[in-house]
Amino acid sequence: MAVVFKPNQEAKTGAALDRVAICASAACMAQCLLLPVMIVITPLVSVGFLADEAFHLFLLAVIVPVSLVAFGLGYRIHRNSTMLVPGVVGLILVVAAAVLDALVLGALAVALLTSLGGAFLIAGHWLNLRERRNVCMQPPR
């Protein structure tokens, strides 16, 4: 006989936030990687809002709080801090790229830094989802 475990509402919310954060990080990384390619391949096409600084700030405003809440909820459930290392590194890199964008770094360096940060964030959220799933699959004590 199979036993079905139903995760509580906090676990569902945390898992949903991890998935949203993974999508936002992937969108940010795709935008950073594809924008230079689009500029080279199609110079006649306006890239519009994707090249606008407001779009970068919007993504940052979504990624940072969603990631912090998802990591916090996940840690409360599984108590495993392994996902915090790539998650915090990713957040630091993404924020650093946004802050240093106008001040110091060139476009290529910002794209690389943001992409690396996005990859770290995706890894952190994936680890968080995996650990949360492991806890949910264990039989109650």
CB count, 10 Å around CB of 32?
A: 24
89 pLDDT more than 50 = yes
Write the CA distances from 137 to 11, 27, 79, 95, integer angstroms. 12, 30, 15, 35
59 pLDDT more than 50 = yes
140 pLDDT more than 80 = no
Residue 64 is predicted with a pLDDT of 92
CB 72, CB 6: distance < 8 Å: no
pTM score: 0.67
52 pLDDT more than 50 = yes
Residue 48 is predicted with a pLDDT of 55
| Alpha-helical regions (H) of 2-83 | 9-41, 53-78
At 138, is the secondary structure helix, strand, or coil? coil
pLDDT tens digits for range 8-49 = 777 778 888 888 888 888 777 776 666 666 655 544 444 455
pLDDT above 90 as % of the chain: 16
92 pLDDT more than 90 = yes
